[in-house]
Chains A and B, each alone.
Chain A
Amino acid sequence: MARVSLENVTKKTGALCPVFGFTLEVKDKEFTTLLGPSGSGKTTVLRLVAGLERLDSGHIYIDDSVADDLTPADRDVAMVFQTYALYPHLSVYRNLASPLEARKMPKTEIDRDVKEVADILRISHLLNKMPIHLSGGEMQRVAIGRAIIRRPKVFLFDEPLTNLDAKLRVHMRAELKRLQRDIGQTTLYATHDEVEAMTMSDRIAVMRRGKIEQYDSPSVIYNNPQNYFVASFIGTPPMNFIDCSYLERDGKAYLDAASFSIDVSDLSQTLKERGSDSEMILGIRPSDVSVNREPVTHSSIETEVYVLEPMGSMAILDLNVAGKIFKVRVPKHFKARTGERVWITFTRERMHVFDKKTGRTII
């Protein structure tokens, strides 16, 4: 039970993925995800909190006390590595017992705790096996077991699901989320998979090149991304972006892209105020666009079909809009052939406009 707070943390020296002026506050029992592409520094942050790396400047507080100079052993954190890092020469039982043995707990207590944790994670039948004989999912549960057995203040997860195959990953996502809720520990989770971040977190910190771009709940990040990067990173399939210019003509305002224009007269005030110049980017998610075989409103845009990607319960239609690929979600049985002409209509309330120069969201 503990808050974790990073205050203006910088790590530059010797770090592959440096972190600059990083400030984050994770509330007690909260599940916060560090989300970002590889190289954004999320693993660095995790390792700094764990004590495996030293800060260049700034402070880290665990449970309101300064943790900067504490060794990993003294910080009372637990970490689940991407590669699980199970001791290959020890049985599952000994692996689980390791943190307790390090603290020199009596054998009977160790035995009791190991059996309890094995029960929770449903690995009791594996206690005598060696890591080399376990499947990916089993190894992962042992790694998690080794972390929770100590009841530390903070859990740190470094991309734990990345090495599992797709089916197991989907299953473990739900299990991990449920487990965290049941155990109620503060958790810091690093991943590059935004689906994981969206489904599991209380709050997400989207990171890029060592800095936080936005730190909010998943729904806010999804619906109100603060800038272009966050908008492009969250959402599968990703948001569609079209470069356009703001111009006024005949008393109306338009966002003009190469092959079409959209009337934005009702938004002109906001656009003029917040935009640094007239170069803007229009963003709209694939699920907020409708496709028809003829124009529906006067804002419908004509496009050409590039390819159809069936995805089981629905399909993605790739369209050619002014030379760029534009994705739209369509129902499962939608039929379309390459080269066909179709019309797309945007859901206006779900449109986003970004300032091209600064990347910040205007609408």
Chain B
Amino acid sequence: MARVKIEDLTKKFGDTVAVNKLNLEVEDKSLVCLLGPSGCGKTTTLRMIAGLETPTNGGIYIGDELVNDLSPAERDIAMVFQFYALYPTMTVAENLAFPLKAQKLTKREINDRVREVADVLHIAKILSRKPSQLTAGEAQRVAIGRAIVRRPRVYLLDEPLTNLDAKLRAFMRAELKKLQKDLGQTTIYVTHDQLEAITMADKIAVMDRGVLQQYDVPENIYDRPKNLFVAGFIGSPPMNFIDCTMVESDGKFLADSGEFRLDLSEMSDVLKRQLSTNEVILGVRPEHIVAQTRRLGPDSIDAEVYVAEPMGDQSILSLKIGRHLIKTVVPISMEADVGSRVWIDFNRDKLHIIDSRTETTIV
């Protein structure tokens, strides 16, 4: 039983603040992802939870116990590193057994546990091999196995899938998620790949430059990003951003992008109250833009195809509207060559209006 609670956690390296007053609560048995670009403080946070770094300020609680002064060994956690860190001179079985030797179990018990873990991870066949003889996927599973074998309170994973090729990564994502659900262990997972986070996590903590941006379930992070950074970071292809100025004309409240205008009158109360400036950023995801080769309605905006990227049964079109470049997803059957003209409409329910100055999402 292990909740992990982080209170006002701060870490400074000299003058640089790597982690800034982080507050986070990881529920027991859940998988929480620390997501963010490199340098955002996620690995530092993980290392502080592990005990490999000492916090400058703040407290870390594992299972309601303050663990700041405990060494990593005393915290009953297991960590899987980005580079597996397997002992090259030992066989897979010996690698798996190694953490247990420190715990003074009998030889019999150790063997049983190793067998058990090997079965769960489908690595029973390679128990007698050495790390240099393993494929990347197998090595990764051994690294995970070595973490599981101890049955710690909390699992910490530091970008474990980054070094695998695309296909293996896709496979391991599903496996890891299933494994975590089966084992029912509290897991904290660090990654910069937003797809991994969305696929696997129960909750995602998006971080940027040491500060927590949003901590929520994946659907909310995707559908209701709190600010510009989160909106732009989650989603592939990424959300389109269009700079606009809010103007009033003919009693209507419009967002003017320089090339086209969008009537936002129905949201005018909310917008007028919450906007700190009339410079806004219009955010809309590629899948919420409908593109057609002919004009759909009076509000359709025309655009020129800049690049077409076919992806099997769909295609990503990059469209040029004046100085803006917008991406949209269309079925592969649509005729869209470079330079041709298309008309687009935005799905009005899925628009995000972001305040230019504060970068927070209003709608």
Contacts and interface: CB of A to CB of B under 8 A. Distances in A.
Contacts of A235: 312
A222 interface: yes
B152 interface: no
Nearest to B201: A310
A166 B236 contact: yes
20 contacts: A165-B192, A166-B194, A166-B195, A167-B233, A199-B309, A199-B310, A199-B311, A238-B170, A285-B313, A307-B174, A309-B177, A309-B200, A311-B198, A311-B199, A312-B222, A316-B174, A318-B174, A318-B178, A325-B174, A338-B178
Given A37-B165, A165-B192, A236-B312, 4 more contacts: A174-B307, A194-B166, A199-B311, A316-B199
A218 B310 contact: yes
A236 B193 CA distance: 16
B205 interface: no
B181 A307 contact: yes
A192 B218 CA distance: 29
A316 B200 CA distance: 12
Contacts of A174: 306-307, 309, 316, 318, 327
Interface in B152-175: 165-167, 170, 173-174
Contacts of A307: 174, 177-178, 181
B52 interface: no
Interface in A315-352: 316, 318, 325, 338
A313 B219 CA distance: 10
A313 B309 CA distance: 18
A353 B268 CA distance: 57
B308 to A, nearest CB: 8
A306 B310 contact: no
Interface in A188-234: 192-195, 198-200, 218-219, 222, 234
B37 interface: yes
Interface of A: 37-38, 165-167, 170, 173-174, 177-178, 181, 192-195, 198-200, 218-219, 222, 234-238, 285, 287, 306-307, 309-313, 316, 318, 325, 338
B150 interface: no
Nearest to B237: A170
A238 B238 contact: no
Contacts, number: 99
Secondary structure of the B contact surface, majority rule:
mixed
Contacts of A165: 37-38, 192
B170 A236 contact: yes
A200 B312 CA distance: 12
B192 A38 contact: no
A312 B198 contact: yes
A311 B195 contact: yes
B236 A312 contact: yes
A167 B238 contact: yes
Given A165-B37, A166-B194, A310 B309 contact: no
Contact of A219 (B193, B287, B318, B332): B332
A177 B309 contact: yes
Across the A-B interface, the 7 shortest Cβ-Cβ residue pairs: A199-B309, A313-B287, A309-B199, A174-B307, A307-B178, A178-B307, A222-B312
B221 to A, nearest CB: 10
Interface string B170-196: 100110011001000000000011110
A237 B170 contact: yes
B138 to A, nearest CB: 15
A322 B82 CA distance: 34
B316 A199 contact: yes
B137 interface: no
Nearest to A173: B309
Contacts of A167: 233, 236, 238
A318 B178 CA distance: 10
